[in-house]
Amino acid sequence: MARRHKKRTGTNFIILSAFVLVIMIVVVAGLPFAFRNGFNTNPFLKTNSLFYYCGMAVSEQQYNLLNSTGFYQFEGNPCHEYYMNGTVGTFNITLDAGIDGPVTLYNNVLLVPLENPTYNYSPPSYYPPDMSMMWGGLASVNATTGAVIWEDRFNDSVMTQPLVINGIAYVGSGDDYVNPNVTQNGVFAVNISDGQIVWNMSTIAENMPTFVYYNNSIIKVGGWSPKGVDTKYVQALDPLTGDLKWQVNVSAFSAMSSPVLVGNTIYFGEDSYRLSNRSSGVIYAVNLDTHEIVWSRRFPKLTDRATQDSTATIWNNTLVDGYAYTYNRTAPSQNRTINLTLVGVDLTNGSIKWKFNEGVGDNTPRSVLPAMTAYNGIVFSDTTEIGWLYALNISTGTPLWKFYTGPSLPNPQIIDGYVFAENQSGTVFILKMDGTLYKKINLGTPEDWCGSAEIAQIGDKVVFGGENGRLMVIPISNLLGSG
């Protein structure tokens, strides 16, 4: 009896050990790809002694720093998984201006960038005849009730996501219509408690790219202006005074490409067209400690659009951006077409890993290539002129599926295992991870031709905004419901 008992125990131990080993192998093997599962949507993964951030293995010290710094860059992280920790109420309000950039949650306040939607004008003029009609601003909204606490107005649109450091919000103003003789744009530091302006720095160039906060500095990239004024520098500003600390000449401008921070280096897209007449998109990597260009990747001639518009996304060691070739460049805008190409490059040296052609579409005044989102080794890219949402293997560029959304400006988001995409008319597509449609809803939050509010997740709710000023916070369960 004793021997049989001992034999049975040994067999059970072997079976249990094998089962535990299999589970460990599955868990460890899946760590880099277990970024989100079900309700765990925070873009950080910590399991035992292993730490991951946007698919990159990091030390515990780096993990703790990244997980505590909050929104120090566009959408909070280099893979643009726009998730915010916190609690918000459910509400549907309409502000007195359009929402043209990502919102930020700070304590119990939603900071909302605004643009004036009442003055409509068309390219190719650099600026409207009456600049007094142009304004933008920043609104503070109670995150529980939706009540507006205060609102600041500036001389032009605000498309940057507010960065918050020690109770101060930092935003930039500007759009494509720039008067080369007037400093109507600027960088603003705003006290969140009362909306008072702490300081502002006036610029001729627009300031549409979101800033980065690094080593006690506000990092901005130069925007577009007709004469190249204020355009060609990466600048570090003192967060308390706005004084210039240092700058790097990159001889190009960024229309809407917000710098992406990884470690001590920022990555962003630029256009050298009006500054050097070489008309090409360029990706730069700039070291913020040494103030030097680490590498740059120049795309073919006559590909000046897309790179300057899109905010690059990063997963593990791959950065994805794009460039667009414009046909019939001398023809009126409505008679032009563009050919859009995505490019995956090595994060360490800028060498090209792969290219993927998204197709040809009509040229419009919209931003050519919105920001992209990386999740679970996949890059999701929606398009404006072409109208297709693509899912690609981010390491190889291999297409996995595509879905037609129509012209879209917000970058897709992964929420509770579903892909959320919103087109310019305000229709939200909720897709399964294999690209099949789960649900389609129109929330009445249309997007502007240039910037967009972006889809944001806060806890168990989703935030939507539109150029009509509508700000909606909806529970995820209400959106998913039954397909």
Look at residues 211, 265, 261 and name the one whose alpha carbon lies nearest to residue 237: 211
- Residue 162: which pLDDT band, with cuts at 50, 70 and 90? very high
Mean pLDDT computed over 324-346 = 75
- 321 alpha carbon, distance to own chain's centre: 12
Mean pLDDT computed over 393-399 = 97
Retrieve residue 474's tokens: 């909806």
Retrieve residue 351's tokens: 């060498």
Retrieve residue 130's tokens: 């009456």
Diameter of the chain by CA atoms?
99
HSE-up of 28 (CA within 13 Å, CB side)? 8
Q: Which conformational region is residue 460 in: left (phi greater than 0), alpha (psi within -120 to 50 degrees), or beta?
A: alpha
Mean pLDDT computed over 382-394 = 89
Retrieve residue 338's tokens: 């563009």
Distance CA(334)–CA(346), nearest Å, equals 36
Distance CA(352)–CA(408), nearest Å, equals 26
Q: Which amino acid is at 250?
A: V
Q: Residue 93: CB partners within 8 Å, gap ≥ 6?
A: 141, 146, 148, 470, 471
The answer to whether residues 170 and 211 touch, using CB atoms and an 8 Å cutoff, is: yes
The pLDDT assigned to 274 comes to: 52
The answer to whether residues 267 and 275 touch, using CB atoms and an 8 Å cutoff, is: no
Distance CA(349)–CA(347), nearest Å, equals 6
Look at residues 51, 71, 54 and name the one whose alpha carbon lies nearest to residue 62: 51
HSE-up of 102 (CA within 13 Å, CB side)? 37
The model's pTM is: 0.84
The pLDDT assigned to 114 comes to: 92
Retrieve residue 167's tokens: 């109770």
Whole-number percent of the chain with pLDDT over 70:
71
Q: What is the per-residue pLDDT across 192-247, written as a single tens digit (0 to 9) for each?
A: 999 999 999 988 777 788 999 999 999 998 776 665 566 788 999 999 999 999 99
- The answer to whether residue 414 scores a pLDDT higher than 50 is yes
- The answer to whether residue 372 scores a pLDDT higher than 60 is yes
Q: What is the per-residue pLDDT across 426-465, written as a single tens digit (0 to 9) for each?
A: 899 999 999 999 999 998 887 765 567 889 999 999 999 9
DSSP state of 423: B
Q: Beta strand pairing status for 318-327 and 337-346?
A: antiparallel
Whole-number percent of the chain with pLDDT over 90:
42
Look at residues 77, 106, 100, 104 and name the one whose alpha carbon lies nearest to residue 453: 100
The answer to whether residues 438 and 430 touch, using CB atoms and an 8 Å cutoff, is: yes
Cα dihedral: 412, 74, 366, 413 (round 10): 10
The pLDDT assigned to 402 comes to: 96
The answer to whether residues 120 and 80 touch, using CB atoms and an 8 Å cutoff, is: no
Q: What is the per-residue pLDDT across 276-313, written as a single tens digit (0 to 9) for each?
A: 455 677 889 999 999 999 998 887 766 555 566 678 89
The answer to whether residues 411 and 403 touch, using CB atoms and an 8 Å cutoff, is: no
Q: What is the mean pLDDT of the chain?
A: 79
The pLDDT assigned to 57 comes to: 76
Retrieve residue 261's tokens: 């921070």
Q: Where are the domains of the chain?
A: 2-53, 57-480
Beta strands in 88-223, from DSSP E residues, in sequence order: 91-94, 98-99, 104-106, 109-115, 136-142, 148-154, 163-165, 168-173, 185-191, 197-203, 212-214, 217-221
- DSSP letters of 385-404? SS-EEEEEETTT--EEEEEE
Strand partners, 305: 324
- Residue 98: which pLDDT band, with cuts at 50, 70 and 90? confident
The pLDDT assigned to 369 comes to: 77
CATH 2.130.10.10 fits 57-480, yes or no: yes
Look at residues 178, 196, 177, 197 and name the one whose alpha carbon lies nearest to residue 187: 197
Q: Between 145 and 386, name the one with better pLDDT.
A: 145
For the ranges 89-93, 135-139, 393-397, the lowest mean pLDDT is seen at 135-139
Mean pLDDT computed over 317-345 = 78
Distance CA(172)–CA(189), nearest Å, equals 9
Retrieve residue 46's tokens: 């910590």
The answer to whether residues 81 and 41 touch, using CB atoms and an 8 Å cutoff, is: yes
- Residue 36: which pLDDT band, with cuts at 50, 70 and 90? very low
Look at residues 119, 213, 126 and name the one whose alpha carbon lies nearest to residue 157: 119
